[in-house]
Amino acid sequence: MVIFDFDGTLADSAAWMMKTVNPMARRFGFRTVTDEEIDMLRGRGTREVIRYLGISPWKLPMIASHGKKLMAAECESIPLFPETAGMLKALHDAGLRLAVVSSNSERTIRKVLGPELSGLIDQFSCGASLFGKARKFRKVTSGAARDRVMTWGAAKRAILAEHGPTIVFESPSEIISHLVASRAAIGGD
Quick: pLDDT tens for 131-165. Answer: 666 666 667 766 655 545 444 455 555 655 666 66
Number of domains, the chain? 2
Torsion over CA: 90, 3, 164, 147 (sign): negative
How far apart are alpha carbons 54 and 59 in whole angstroms? Answer: 11
Query: Does 168 lie in the same domain as 94?
Result: yes
Question: Which CATH number covers residue 109?
Answer: 3.40.50.1000
Q: Which pLDDT tens digit goes with each residue over 64-122?
A: 889 989 999 999 999 999 999 999 999 999 999 899 988 889 999 999 999 999 999 99
Neighbours of 41 (CB within 10 A): 16
Query: Does 87 lie in the same domain as 119?
Result: yes
Contact call for residues 167 and 131 (beta carbons, < 8 A): no
How far apart are alpha carbons 19 and 10 in whole angstroms? Answer: 19
Query: Does 102 lie in the same domain as 24?
Result: no
- Which residues span the domain enclosing 120? 2-11+79-186
How far apart are alpha carbons 121 and 11 in whole angstroms? Answer: 15
Query: Does 65 lie in the same domain as 83?
Result: no
Query: Does 113 lie in the same domain as 40?
Result: no
- The DSSP call for residue 7 is B
Query: Does 113 lie in the same domain as 155?
Result: yes
